[in-house]
Amino acid sequence: MNTPDRDDRPLLIVGAGIAGLASALAFSKAGFRSVVCERSDRLDPVGAGLQLSANALSVLDRLGVLASLRENAFAARTVALRDGASDRLLARVPVESGADGYLAVHRADLQSVLLEAVQVDPRIELRLGRSLKAVETRPSGVRASFARSAGSSETIDTLLLVGADGVHSATAGLLSCPPPTDGGLVAHRFSLNDAPGDEIEAWLSPRSHAVSYPMRRSGERNLVLVERQGGKQAPSGDGWNPRLAGFIRHGTYLGRWPLLTVNPDERMRAFGRVVLVGDAAHAMFPFAAQGAAMALEDAWVLAASLATQADMDRAIGAYLDARRPRIERVLKRVRFHRFVYHLGWPASLARNAAMALRSERAMRGDLAWLYDWRAAPLA
Ligand SMILES: Cc1cc2nc3c(=O)[nH]c(=O)nc-3n(C[C@H](O)[C@H](O)[C@H](O)COP(=O)(O)OP(=O)(O)OC[C@H]3O[C@@H](n4cnc5c(N)ncnc54)[C@H](O)[C@@H]3O)c2cc1C
């Protein structure tokens, strides 16, 4: 779509992670061409498991990739909350929303279906081996410079630059945004090939929690253990119930991720014709399993804003106005989950008793506003 404020330069997306690839596909659905510049020379299948609630799935459906993602994904109906020491079931939280359900996937599978769609889309050009080095905002748009892994440099002029370059966003750094905050927590991740169990389970323990689920139909399981930062060694399993301790001891240790967060008050604003999406704008703790989901929502809402607002500054404003309150509400929920999941002893005993008294309906009702969001059709 070309409007009075637009020209035929493709939009520029920095980063080909979940947010960047989804943005390119959403822009294409809205009629815009884009160039995606990614620092890596190859998009390797990195990461581990992701839970995707119906709000995220609705975006993937609009992007045309949900059916292929489902082929390999694990479909869940509930999340079982358990006591970390005893494995006792505390509550089952229903997580489905309408017909869209709830999936657990490998991040690599999500990236693959997005990448395949990008590669066959004539409106999208993916350029690998380009690392953003400079951003110059101009009245008519943005000039971005990239260092190429081959050694040369490349300059691109565009009407809109979308920074989708993750928690360590170079785009945000070049715009003088404060760096991410070290939240004092670390996530240890494991994969398990033949562990039994066919549901999403979360174990709550004083000051730490663990989550495990099948992330492929083949049975490959994800396990993540979140605790305060301490030594560098992998967890031993001590202090957890025997079943979970067995997962920890027999799983393949994928490493430790220090959990960093980004303050959206500093990042969710217009920097001339530059906007940030995904973790670059609002990296959050994984206590509500919504980081990738919010990246997908960002992509869709930004495309919808571009499709409905002829003026670029208004389009950016509409995107920010729509996303800020939603992100704030999600972050409030994340803080609440962090507080509840990591309560120390003996408050954790009171938490367990209170959870056991709550109905599944009440648990589901708490999350309706989150899971029932849907990507609206583009104008
Ligand atoms: C332990 C853990 C569990 C999680 N579980 C869930 C979950 O269950 N559900 C969920 O929805 N979310 C979950 N998340 C969050 C989710 O993984 C992230 O929010 C999401 O992957 C962010 O995507 P992104 O595209 O914004 O960033 P990234 O995936 O980090 O992508 C950024 C891209 O930009 C590229 N890049 C960086 N710098 C440059 C540069 N200078 N120039 C060009 N390219 C550049 C990078 O190479 C990368 O490809 C979890 C996170 C963690 C840590």
Atom of ligand 1 nearest to the CA of 37: 43
Residues 45-91 pLDDT 10s: 777 899 999 999 999 999 999 999 999 999 998 999 999 999 999 99
pLDDT of residue 231: 65
Q: Does the C-beta of 36 come closer than 6 Å to ligand 1?
A: no
β-strands 200-205, 153-158: how paired? unpaired
Token reading at 101: 């359900």
Q: What's the whole-number average pLDDT of the chain?
A: 93
Q: Using alpha carbons, select from 98, 105, 164 the residue that is nearest to residue 373.
A: 98
pLDDT digits (tens, 9 = 90+) for 188-228: 999 998 777 789 999 999 889 999 999 887 778 999 999 99
Query: Is residue 153 very low, low, confident or very high in pLDDT (cuts 50, 70, 90)?
Result: very high
Backbone dihedral angles phi then psi of residue 221, each to the nearest 5 degrees: -110, 150
Lookup result for tokens 């202090």: 239
* Complete domains list, the chain, with CATH: 11-181+261-371 (3.50.50.60)
What does the pLDDT look like over 250-279, one tens digit per residue?
999 999 999 999 999 999 999 999 999 999
Which residue among 37, 44, 50 is best mutated to probe the pocket of ligand 1, counting the most ligand atoms within 8 A of its Cβ?
50
Q: Among the atoms of ligand 1, which is closest to the Cα of residue 283?
A: 19
Give φ, ψ of 191 to 5 degrees. -125, 150
Q: State the CB neighbour count (10 A cutoff) for residue 344.
A: 8
pLDDT of 376 over the 80 cut: yes
Provide the β-strand partners of residue 127.
37
Q: Residue 220: what are its φ and ψ, rounded to 5°?
A: -60, 130
**Index of the ligand 1 atom closest to the CA of residue 16:** 49
Q: If you average pLDDT over residues 139-147, what whole number do you get?
A: 93
- Are 104 and 74 within 8 A, CB to CB? yes
Q: Which DSSP state fits 73?
A: P
| CA 324/CA 289 separation, integer angstroms | 18
Residues 88-135 have pLDDT tens digits of 999 999 888 777 789 999 999 999 999 999 999 999 999 999 999 999
Ligand 1 pocket check for 348: Cβ under 6 Å: no
**Distance in angstroms (rounded) separating the CA atoms of residues 183 and 189:** 17
> Atom 35 in ligand 1: which residue has the minimum CA distance?
15
User: Does the beta carbon of 289 sit less than 6 angstroms from any atom of ligand 1?
Assistant: yes
pLDDT digits (tens, 9 = 90+) for 9-22: 999 999 999 999 99
Q: Which two tokens stand for residue 128?
A: 């690998």
First to last CA, the chain: 12
Tokens of 256: 């430790």
What is the 22 CA–ligand 1 centroid distance (Å)?
Answer: 12
Ranking 18-32, 41-55, 289-303, 325-339 by mean pLDDT, the lowest is 41-55
Cα–Cα distance between 255 and 235 in angstroms, integer?
10
Q: What would the DSSP string read from start to end of 90-101?
A: EEEEE---GGG-
Residues 177 and 275: beta-carbon distance below 8 Å: no
Regarding the beta carbon of 60 and ligand 1, being less than 6 Å apart is answered: no
